[in-house]
């Protein structure tokens, strides 16, 4: 049986930055024998320090849904899509080694906008940045890449990250380089397929994502006339709407991100394990809705937050 802290192949622990880094570097070396992986390896270390609260400027991660496991799962999926793309297009439209590196680094920091700076006196929880986290991450990447020797790609990375969010329609994101744009479409696809194929996806949505939505202003929206619309009234209500979200996710993958997820088929030798697991979760959600939202959601998601870190107020705990 697949373990909850492992990837879709049940071989790589997605709560361990070293294991994921080793696999990503292995794929990179298989494509680019003389490629320079140093910036990528450093980025794994820097990201891990930040998420565990070992960076002097940032508090540890306190978003239990958008945690380090999610980041590492997305990064691993991104590496597999990049690998599939290059294996298909090495002769006709090859991907430069640095594009692979930039794609991986952007994946590693695509949710860095949820991390609070230690100087922050306005926000108590990272989830309060839900509506602005992509923009914050974009500014971070623009500063970070020059520090690791990739100044020439800092602007591109700051745009690539928007393929993971909804602040901008993916089809309207402007990039002068069509190949770098394809990297962005792979990044946005990796973000979708990694989280929706997670073994504990539904449990995480109910217990972890809903509280983030409350803190981030997603669960309830204030209208211009001052009235309030309740979008999600509870974690169980969020689960009841997951089947519809799955349909919309497929539409986004196909239409907004130009089916970049298909490169996983090349990586896996013909099967797209991510799409298979997404379908299983969609069926599981449909069954839960039929039985009563929350029924059958018994898997235990890994705890990844640093000791003593609270992800949301006690009043938001699902009971």
Q: What is the pLDDT of residues 50-70, one digit of tens each?
A: 999 999 999 999 999 999 999
Number of neighbouring beta carbons within 10 Å of residue 298: 7
Residue 10 lies in a domain: no
Residue 141 lies in a domain: yes
Q: What is the pLDDT of residues 261-305, one digit of tens each?
A: 999 999 999 999 999 999 999 999 999 888 875 567 889 999 999
Residue 312 lies in a domain: no
Look at the alpha carbons of 215, 217, 317, 208 in this order and tell me if their dihedral is positive or negative: negative
pLDDT (0 to 100) of residue 290: 84
Residue 316 lies in a domain: no
Angle at the Cα of 142 (from 86 to 28), degrees rounded to 5? 25
Q: What is the pLDDT of residues 218-252, one digit of tens each?
A: 999 888 888 889 999 999 999 999 999 999 999 99
For 55-88, the DSSP string reads STTBPPP--SSSSHHHHHHHHHHHHHHHHHHHHH
Residue 9 lies in a domain: no
% pLDDT > 90, the chain:
88
Q: What is the pLDDT of residues 154-194, one digit of tens each?
A: 999 999 999 999 888 999 999 999 999 999 999 999 999 99
Residues 6+ apart with CB under 8 A from 20: 12, 13, 14, 44, 72, 75, 76
Question: Is residue 318's pLDDT more than 80?
Answer: no
Q: Mean pLDDT for the chain?
A: 95
Mean pLDDT value across residues 101-111: 98
Residue 5 lies in a domain: no
Q: Which domain holds residue 40?
A: 17-301
Taking the C-alpha atoms of residue 153 and residue 150, their distance in angstroms, rounded to an integer, is 6
Q: Which of 81-85, 105-109, 220-224 has the lowest mean pLDDT?
A: 220-224
Q: Domain with 79 in it: what CATH number? A: 1.10.1300
18 pLDDT tier (thresholds 50, 70, 90): very high
C-beta of residue 134 within 8 angstroms of C-beta of residue 157: no
Q: How far is CA 263 from the centre of its chain?
A: 18
For residue 122 the two structure tokens come to: 């306005």
For residue 219 the two structure tokens come to: 């669960």
Residue 7 lies in a domain: no
Q: What is the pLDDT of residues 21-54, one digit of tens each?
A: 999 999 999 999 999 999 999 999 999 999 999 9
Angle at the Cα of 135 (from 77 to 6), degrees rounded to 5? 25
Q: Nearest 10 degrees: CA dihedral of 108, 109, 115, 116? A: 140
pTM: 0.96
pLDDT (0 to 100) of residue 317: 61
> Total structural domains in the chain?
1
Mean pLDDT value across residues 311-317: 76
pLDDT (0 to 100) of residue 313: 83
Task: Please state the φ and ψ torsions of residue 226, each to the nearest 5 degrees.
Answer: 95, -15
Residue 46 lies in a domain: yes
pLDDT (0 to 100) of residue 316: 73
Residue carrying the six token digits 């928007």: 162
């Amino acid at each position: 049986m697949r373990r909850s802290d492992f990837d879709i192949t049940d071989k790589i622990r997605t709560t361990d930055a070293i294991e994921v880094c080793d696999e990503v570097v292995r794929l990179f070396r298989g494509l680019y024998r003389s490629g320079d992986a140093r910036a990528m390896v450093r980025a794994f270390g820097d990201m891990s320090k930040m998420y565990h609260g070992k960076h002097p400027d940032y508090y540890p991660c306190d978003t239990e849904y958008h945690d380090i496991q999610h980041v590492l799962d997305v990064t691993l999926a991104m590496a597999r899509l990049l690998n599939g793309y290059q294996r298909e297009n090495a002769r006709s439209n090859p991907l430069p080694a640095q594009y692979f590196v930039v794609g991986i680094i952007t994946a590693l920091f695509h949710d860095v906008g949820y991390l609070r700076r230690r100087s922050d006196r306005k926000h108590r929880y990272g989830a309060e940045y839900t509506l602005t986290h992509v923009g914050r991450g974009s500014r971070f990447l623009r500063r970070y890449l020059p520090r690791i020797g990739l100044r020439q790609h800092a602007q591109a990375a700051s745009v690539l990250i928007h393929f993971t969010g909804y602040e901008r329609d993916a089809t309207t994101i402007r990039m002068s380089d069509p190949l770098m744009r394809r990297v962005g479409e792979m990044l946005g696809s990796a973000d979708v397929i990694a989280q929706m194929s997670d073994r504990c996806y539904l449990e995480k949505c109910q217990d972890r994502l809903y509280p983030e939505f409350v803190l981030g202003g997603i669960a309830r929206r204030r209208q211009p006339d001052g009235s309030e619309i309740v979008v999600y009234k509870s974690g169980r209500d969020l689960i009841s709407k997951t089947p519809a979200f799955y349909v919309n996710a497929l539409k986004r993958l196909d239409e907004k991100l130009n089916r970049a997820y298909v490169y996983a088929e090349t990586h896996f030798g013909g099967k797209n394990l991510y799409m298979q697991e997404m379908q299983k979760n969609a069926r599981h959600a449909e069954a839960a809705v039929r039985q009563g939202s929350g029924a059958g959601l018994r898997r235990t998601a890994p705890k990844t937050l640093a000791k003593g870190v609270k992800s949301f107020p006690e009043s938001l705990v699902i009971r």
